[in-house]
A and B are shown apart, each in its own frame.
Chain A
Amino acid sequence: DTGVSQNPRHKITKRGQNVTFRCDPISEHNRLYWYRQTLGQGPEFLTYFQNEAQLEKSRLLSDRFSAERPKGSFSTLEIQRTEQGDSAMYLCASSFTGPLVDEQYFGPGTRLTVT
């Protein structure tokens, strides 16, 4: 399977703990996006990378959230000092640069539950 993969698929953590999620994009894609989705809502944009450069961050992304994409390959999203309001599905997507730049391919998501 050459689609976008995310790990872990599910994560349960206690309030105040740190968590890290991983996203492996489609290999030839150089753009990578992170979104958060809560039940009954559409995905909410968090941040965007082109290669290893983080080019855009949502104003909603608090300083407890940090994302990296070393070497322009996989990406990690870390949440420090988790809060119950962080419970959500975290989605990663990737795309090409070029004519198909806006065709984002999403992974299956990581469901975070903060207790």
Chain B
Amino acid sequence: EDQVTQSPEALRLQEGESSSLNCSYTVSGLRGLFWYRQDPGKGPEFLFTLYSAGEEKEKERLKATLTKKESFLHITAPKPEDSATYLCAVRTGNQFYFGTGTSLTVIP
């Protein structure tokens, strides 16, 4: 059964305190792994797509990496405006499976 698991469920960081979010997956025929940011009451906002193990992508304070079984979203020196829920999703065929997300709170 295709499955996406994110950890931790919630994370509180002090401003400037770097950390990583985890997304582990078991799918048949991975066609891409995606990271999104979601603010309360809004639709998810696309961040990254990763296609193959070893691939890395960066955007401002965020860096996403991919292995054969999991992906990490590294947040370097976070700011309060980085507070949001971060969602991971995988594509298999033409279906997309999302995890339940990590709720990140960055305290000034």
Binding site for B on A (CB under 8 A): 4, 33, 35, 40-45, 48, 55-56, 58, 91, 93, 102-109
Contact partners of A45 in chain B: CB under 8 A? 95-98
Contact partners of B34 in chain A: CB under 8 A? 102, 104
The residue in chain B whose Cβ has the minimal distance to the Cβ of A109 is B43
Q: Are B46 and A105 in contact, CB atoms less than 8 angstroms apart?
A: yes
Known A-B contacts A41-B100, A93-B43, A108-B43; the reply to A102 vs B94 at CB < 8 A is no
A44 CA to B32 CA, complexed, in Å: 17
A86 CB to closest chain B CB, in angstroms? 19
Known A-B contacts A103-B46, A108-B42; the reply to A43 vs B98 at CB < 8 A is yes
B93 CB within 8 Å of chain A:
yes
A107 CA to B38 CA, complexed, in Å: 12
Contacts between the two chains (Cβ within 8 Å), count: 54
Q: Are A33 and B96 in contact, CB atoms less than 8 angstroms apart?
A: yes
Binary contact track B86-107/A, C-beta < 8 Å → 1, others 0: 0101010111111111000000
Q: Are B94 and A42 in contact, CB atoms less than 8 angstroms apart?
A: no
The residue in chain B whose Cβ has the minimal distance to the Cβ of A50 is B94
The residue among B41, B43, B87, B100 with the most chain A CB atoms within 10 A of its own CB is B43
Q: Are A106 and B43 in contact, CB atoms less than 8 angstroms apart?
A: yes
Q: Which of B43, B46, B97 is in CB contact (< 8 Å) with A91?
A: B43
Contact partners of B87 in chain A: CB under 8 A? 42-43
Q: Are A43 and B44 in contact, CB atoms less than 8 angstroms apart?
A: yes
Known A-B contacts A56-B93, A58-B95, A108-B42; the reply to A42 vs B49 at CB < 8 A is no
Q: Which of B44, B94, B95, B100 is in CB contact (< 8 Å) with A106?
A: B44
